[in-house]
Structure 1
Amino acid sequence: MENSGGIQASLAGRYALALFELARDSKQLDSVGKSLATVKEALEQSEDFQALTTSPLVGRDAAAATVKAVGESLKLDSLTRNFLGVLAENRRLAHIGSVIRAFTLLVSNHKGETTAEVTTAHPLDAAQVKALAAQLKSGVGRDVAIELKVDPEILGGLKVKIGSQMIDSSIRTRLNTLAQAMKG
């Protein structure tokens, strides 16, 4: 059984590992990955869906039925829909964000790549993402899967996190550093 740096130690990690092994064995890693990305996007955009996953007031049956309907409307693959049903039945929907992160890490390790969490002030286009991936690959020595986040609060520049390493070239951080230096 693959441990991948302690992922298995957490509850979300155990669920992610189970989903990963099912998807790998049935050769559905890409479709499950795309479905989980859709779920992640839905969680970020829908307060109702987010409330469903975190509310202790929603019963197992209601959560399972709602997750099934959401899975069908989002056109998720059957393995991911069934997996979300299991999370609902076990009252573990609150862990879906952590499960998605752990699954993504497992897939990256399986493909021989590393994952970089990149935060920008504005969305990047496909050419910029490709150039950034090439630049990170030359520094890391492995293929790099980029997980993009947009945070206007950084004003400009990038924040890149690869494993425990953080590269912060955001304008906000530079301004804060300059302000600290001026205070003496």
Structure 2
Amino acid sequence: MTKNVENINEICKRYANALILSSEDRNELKIITQNFEHFNKVLRTSNDLSTYIKNPLINSQKKSLVLKKICKSFSYNQFFQGFIYVLTKHGKINLQEKILNEYKRIIDLKDGLTEIIVTTSEPLEKEVEKKLKTKLSDSLKLKIKLTKIIDKEIIGGIKIKIKSIMIDNSIKSKLTEFEI
């Protein structure tokens, strides 16, 4: 990794940790999490707003005014609004999605959850997903959080990633094995 990426990751980790610790101290972790996820969804679904927020030519005061109106219109928690203001003031609002991902990762760690990424070519049926989650949880003796990815390129089968271990039982990988 480059120094710049490492610095960005460290910055995101610091903001996420600060938000978690402060939210826990205030007993507002649940509402802050809901606000943060909703805020991220609002930015992702509004291209104009997202472009405006990420534009380096627009100063932080103007961005703060817009974001303050958005936060008030959705009745976000006062502390969360302050957090958004701090991110904006320090020019880090463009990192909010990465901070949210780090925030959720840290909370999962605290809750003892292990993320398992399952990639299939089609969405899993609810019953199959439930059985897979139970089977993985029982065999690994872990509390798991299943993250599902749909990737048509694997053609069929399944890929499972547990921490740094990849189990690739996709049709694409089987076909690749037969290539000469």
TM-score by length of 1: 0.74
One-letter amino acid matched to 2:177: A
1:106-165: CA deviation from partner (whole Å, max 9, x where unpaired)? 111111222334445555576555444323322432212234455555555554444323
One-letter amino acid matched to 1:52: Y
Change (3 A) 1:68 1:113: same
Secondary structure (helix, strand or coil) at the match of 2:116 reads: strand
Identity across the alignment (%): 24
Matches within 5 A, 1:1-184: 10-122=10-122, 129-152=129-152, 154=154, 156-170=156-170, 174-175=171-172, 177-178=174-175, 180-184=176-180
CA shift, 1:181, in A, is 3.4
One-letter amino acid matched to 1:101: N
CA shift, 1:75, in A, is 4.4
Contact 1:23-1:32 at 8 Å conserved across structures: yes
CA shift, 1:68, in A, is 2.1
* Structure 1 Cα separation of the partners of residues 51 and 169 of structure 2: 34
1:11-40: CA deviation from partner (whole Å, max 9, x where unpaired)? 110000000101111122222222222233
Contact 2:23-2:29 at 8 Å conserved across structures: yes
CA shift, 1:42, in A, is 3.0
Structure with larger Rg: 2
1:59-111: CA deviation from partner (whole Å, max 9, x where unpaired)? 10121122222333444333322211211111101211221111111111111
Contact 1:38-1:74 at 8 Å conserved across structures: no
Aligned length: 174
One-letter amino acid matched to 2:96: I
Change (3 A) 1:93 1:165: farther
Contact 1:29-1:107 at 8 Å conserved across structures: no
Moved more, 125-134 or 57-66: 125-134
CA shift, 1:51, in A, is 1.7
Q: Structure 1: which 5+ runs fail to align?
A: 1-5
Change (3 A) 1:146 1:183: closer
TM-score by length of 2: 0.75
For the aligned residue pairs, the C-alpha RMSD in angstroms reads: 3.1
One-letter amino acid matched to 1:96: Q
Moved more, 15-24 or 124-133: 124-133
- Counterpart in the other structure of 1:3: none
